[in-house]
Structure 1
């Protein structure tokens, strides 16, 4: 069972920011599929939004080691019978991450496993050849080898009773903002990405990045405009 952590030591998960969920109205077929679907989600997307998009789906905390295995083992006797697992967020570091073999075991038992945005995108890229289905920009970046490190999607966040609110920014989110910012030169972009990468994932925030960039000599005018620019 995943337990809530204190604010002083927020748990670690992976988190997306560049992939947006669809906002189309659920259809009858969507509702039927949702009834047999479990979605593991945390800081990336509010559980209420999952319920709105997939009425009837089971909304679960970020996935951890053993969660997918438990579903696969209980599938025959569980009601409702889970036929689809969607992984968005997942724990790691202080809690063991979902294991590759439990995902492949679920696939072998005929359960669809989908991944997007965060831990789900990472595992989907690693297990695409085994049948796990990946969705979204972050998944595609991992699948193409444009993103490699696990900590690209890592964030610290508050416990479930605080809505899993993120207290750090994922490196992939910082990269996206830096790449889109029109006021930055190529040299400044490269410097900012390296500064963000150098920080431990729990310390990665836009505020920390601005401070590091000022100390590193990134032009102040560009940083001032970046700070005022609405982030994607």
Structure 2
């Protein structure tokens, strides 16, 4: 009997094109309330929860994931975004967290959903930036001496003050330029750095989740 493909809920954290090069799976849109509950009636062995809705729709509830893990004995993995949050909540019931972001929440270093929340559309290229990814790029920029600690803290402060659907580098750096004109030179250096070297911790963790599932999945 051929096993069903892993079901992966994936959105802005990693492109489908990149994901399919790693794992042959049943890729779904970011999870919303009810999506995981429906899988209880399906022949599913492995589920990967990466992305889910925060603003445009209700996210899947913890009880949905709990029922899938406990009642159907499905292996459920989470990373990067909503998946990391649910894995922290449900780790004691069998959900498995993957990646750095999961560990940061599990260990209490990060606490707010705001760290991973983004907004996106299916019909435009608009996507806000996750606070955790902004932190990551600021860390790297300081490490490579693109910016100093004061500039890093100033950009992070404005990022935190910006409501997550509007959290883009362009908007954040424009606000910083108005509020902190004395660091304009470093702001422009960081802007150029982001254009050419932007990294994503959410994407990196999503890749880790897919590679982990690939290692255990036997068709």
Q: TM-score, normalised by structure 1?
A: 0.76
Give the distance between the partners of 1:130 and 1:187, measured in 2 at CA: 42
- On the 8 A contact 2:151/2:187 being kept in 1, the answer is no
For structure 2, the 5+ residue unaligned runs are 200-219
**Is 2:1 the partner of 1:45?**
no
More helix by share: 2
Q: Aligned residue for 2:133?
A: 173
Question: What displacement does 1:166 show?
Answer: 4.6
> Given the alignment, which residue of 185, 204, 207 partners 2:167?
204
8 Å CA contact retained: 1:71, 1:82: yes
Distance in structure 1 (CA, Å) of the matches to 2:126 and 2:10:
13
Query: Residue 51 of structure 2: SS of its match in structure 1?
Result: coil
Residue 157 of structure 2: aligned partner: 194
RMSD over equivalenced CA pairs, Å: 1.7
Please state whether the residue corresponding to 1:63 is helix, strand or coil.
Answer: coil
Residue 114 of structure 1 aligns to a residue whose secondary structure is: strand
2:186 corresponds to which of 222, 225, 229: 222
Cα deviation 1:105-164 (Å, max 9, x = unaligned)? 1111201110111111111122112211111111111111121111211112121xx4x8
Contact 2:54–2:118 (8 Å) recurs in 1:
no
Once the two structures are superposed, the pairs formed by residues 56-95 of structure 1 within 5 Å of their partners are 57-72=25-40, 74-75=41-42, 81-95=43-57
Count residues in correspondence: 190
Aligned to 2:203: none
Q: Which segments of 5 or more consecutive residues in structure 1 lack a partner in the other structure? A: 1-31, 76-80
